[in-house]
Amino acid sequence: MAKKKATTKAAKKTTKKAAKKTTKKTAKAKKVDEKVAETEEEPAPKKKKKRKSRAKAAELIRKKLFWGVFNHAMKRVALYEFNQRKAAEKRAKELSPEGKPPHFVQKVKEEIVVEKEKKLTAKQKKELAALEKAEAAEAEGAKKTTKKSAKKTTKKAAKKKSKK
């Protein structure tokens, strides 16, 4: 009997070890299956595309050269077109009489913003041309009426002179 008990105890131990091994393997397999299932069920979130903003009318930035009249503290007192250097120098002399700090003339570059013209469709071009023609006709009509009224006033003035 003692032998039977020992063999049954040994058999139980081996079955317990085997059972533990199989449960560990099945647990690992379940974890792997769960991970695979999660990735299959939940696809990767889609990335939202950024919207392209509409391009604004390009502004051309140009620089223009001027003559500036400055005082001793480098504060600009006057600004002249580039072709008016003599006027700028004259102003500097006026501002710096004897006993006062001298004023001087120096080149100045300033930015000028010029808007780029928009492209018009054929329909818009026709409408614009029609508007320009209408404005021109109105302007001619106004000139004619002023000429007529001027003639009338000269005739009236001539009649008044003749009566005197």
d(CA 85, CA 105): 8
The answer to whether residue 99 sits within a structural domain is yes
Question: For the chain, what is the domain count?
Answer: 1
Which structural domain range is residue 104 located in? 59-115
* SS3 (DSSP) at 164: coil
Longest dimension (CA), the chain: 168
Domain presence at residue 130: no
- Domain assignment present for residue 153? The answer is no
Is 93 part of a structural domain of the chain?
yes
Spans of the chain below 50 pLDDT: none
Find out whether 118 and 126 touch, Cβ atoms under 8 Å. no
The reply to whether 147 falls in a domain is no
d(CA 27, CA 18): 14
Is 64 inside a domain boundary?
A: yes
Look at residue 107 in the predicted model and tell me its pLDDT: 96
**Which sign does the torsion angle of CA 153, 156, 162, 164 carry?**
negative
Residue 136 lies in a domain: no
